Amino acid sequence: MVRSYDSALNEQRITRDFSFMKPRVFILLRMEEKLMGIIKFFKELLADEKQRVAALSICSNTLLVGLKLVAGILTNSVSIISEAIHSALDLVAAIIAFTAVKISSRPPDREHRYGHGKFENVSGTIEALLIFVAAIWIIVEAYKKIIEGTGVETIGIGIAVMAFASLVNWIISGILMKTARKTDSVALEADALHLRTDVYTSIGVLLGLLVLSITNIQILDPLIAMLVALLIIKTAYELTIKALVPLLDVALPPEEEAEIENAMQIIDAEGIVGFHQLRTRKAGAERYVDMHLVVQRDMTIVQVHELCDRIEQEIEDRLPYVHVLVHAEPCGDEDCRNCKPGCERIRATEQEDD
């Protein structure tokens, strides 16, 4: 009985200790899960060039927003504050671009059979809308400054910050554009154009502050801010067109469709009568091409399949990130004039004529 009583006490003690440790174990497991998630995120970030460059843009914009905002407040310059707002929208755009690049890199799934490429186009469209908003805000603030007539102070700080911002944005935009062209990324190209515009506007503000420091004409500051806004609107318009067009499934550019036609002429294999209903479109970096291929009706399925493979390979060698779908169909009587020698129907017709 003593042993049984002692055993019961031990069991109660173990149960009580376990109950006390259970919340701690749960917290540790949650922390481990979050830590593994963070490690996985950084592994993916380092492995994907597009994500890595997009993250670099987020870091640089965060730094510049803080510097420009402080400089704008210290100098009481609406043009510098307008640049801070512009950089803040650059930061939002960079975050959107990073998200879009991350999503678009996912492989096709059950709900997105053609992949996630159009997320980059959606990202570019949102960026363009943000730029329009920024431009309108700058114009409103500049107009208020003209009416109120507030002067600019401590110009030296503003000049130093704008010079530094121009240099940083020039370097980052160059990296973004190089990667965008290499990977054909709409989101990264939009982010690069966004930052490149920031470079030009920063230089404009910088030159304006230099002139202001010499002439002391205070109205130059809001006028320069308005010019910055007009440049921003122009960039927003161009970006809207570039990002929105692929969402409407517009055909590939004429030069790219010409490459497809050149590929068909180079193959020029026996058995090809012609092709028609060429359709092309683009989603993010991915291109989609489909066509109807007219072949001699006496060709075997294996021959037609090998011919389609050759066509797909030739087009893939000419255009990056392209998916080709060829629908083969037999020739008809109306195609005889385009057919190459060797067709059974042509030989039969020639024998009848003889």
Residue that is last in its domain, among 219, 248, 277: 248
Question: Residue 3: inside a domain, yes or no?
Answer: no
End of a domain among 248, 283, 307?
Answer: 248
| The 286-295 sheet, strands edge to edge | 272-283, 286-295, 322-330
Q: How many CB atoms lie within 10 A of CB 154?
A: 12
Residue 302 to residues 16, 299, 306: CA-CA distances in angstroms? 74, 8, 6
How many CB atoms within 10 Å of residue 342?
Answer: 11
**Residue (of 244, 279, 300, 260) closest to 129 by Cα position:** 244
Which residues share a beta bridge with 260? none
Residue 8 within a domain: no
Asked if residue 5 is part of any domain, the answer here is no
20 in any annotated domain = no
Same domain, yes or no: 70 and 118: yes
8 A C-beta contact, residue 191 and residue 227: no
Whether residues 228 and 330 share a domain: the answer is: no
Instruction: Give CA–CA dist 64/60, Å, rounded.
Output: 6
> What local confidence, expressed as pLDDT, does residue 153 receive?
53
- 170 located within any domain: yes
Q: Are residues 204 and 61 in the same domain?
A: yes
Is 225 a member of any domain? yes
Q: Is the whole model's pTM more than 0.85, yes or no?
A: no
Question: Are 321 and 292 within 8 A, CB to CB?
Answer: no
C-alpha–C-alpha distance, residues 177 and 157, integer Å: 30
Residues 6+ apart with CB under 8 A from 45: 51, 52, 55
Domain termination residue (choose one: 248, 268, 291):
248
CA distances (Å), 163 to each of 63, 76, 95, in order? 14, 18, 24
Do residues 224 and 301 share a domain? no
Is the same domain home to 230 and 192? Answer: yes
Closest to 207 measured CA to CA, from 227, 236, 233, 193: 227
On whether both 66 and 209 belong to a single domain, the answer is yes
Total domains in the fold of the chain = 2
**Of 198, 273, 276, nearest in space to 232 by CA:** 198
- Same domain assignment for residues 107 and 215: yes
Distance CA 120, CA 187 (A): 5
Find the DSSP H helices in 184-300.
Answer: 186-215, 220-244, 254-267
Q: Provide, rounded to the nearest whole percent, the portion of the chain with pLDDT above 90.
A: 8
One domain, residues 345 and 239? no
State whether 191 and 209 are in the same domain.
yes
Per-residue confidence in pLDDT tens, the chain, 354 aa: 445 555 554 555 555 555 555 565 556 556 656 655 555 555 555 557 788 888 888 888 888 888 888 888 887 777 677 778 777 877 888 888 888 888 887 888 888 878 787 888 888 788 778 778 877 877 887 787 777 765 555 566 767 877 888 888 889 889 988 888 888 887 888 788 778 877 777 777 777 777 777 777 767 767 777 887 787 788 788 878 877 877 888 888 899 999 998 888 877 666 778 888 999 998 878 899 999 998 888 888 998 999 899 999 999 999 988 999 999 988 876 666 656 555 555 555 555 555
User: Quick one: 142 and 229 in the same domain?
Assistant: yes
Q: What is the dihedral of CA 65, 70, 71, 76, to 10 degrees?
A: 120
Parent domain of 345: 254-353
pLDDT in tens, 156-215: 676 787 788 888 888 988 998 888 888 888 788 878 877 887 777 777 777 777 777 777
Do 198 and 269 fall within a single domain? no
Residue 187's pLDDT is: 80
CATH number of the domain within which 156 lies: 1.20.1510.10
Nearest to 325, CA basis, from 352, 276, 277, 290? 290
What is the domain-level CATH number for residue 304?
A: 3.30.70.1350
Give the phi and the psi of residue 114 in degrees, each rounded to 5: -100, 15
Is the domain of 225 the same as that of 296?
Answer: no
CB atoms within 10 A of CB 160: 14
CA–CA distance, 119 with 153 (Å, rounded to integer): 44
Does residue 31 fall inside a structural domain? Answer: no
pLDDT at residue number 22: 53
Could you give the C-alpha distances from 87 to 51, 165, 201, 267, 344, in angstroms and in order? 20, 10, 11, 51, 69
**Interatomic CA distance for residues 245 and 279, integer angstroms:** 16
In a domain, 40, yes or no: no
Separation CA 38–CA 19 (nearest Å):
30
- Between CA 100 and CA 109, with CA 105 as vertex, the angle to 5 degrees is 105
How much is the pLDDT for 1?
45
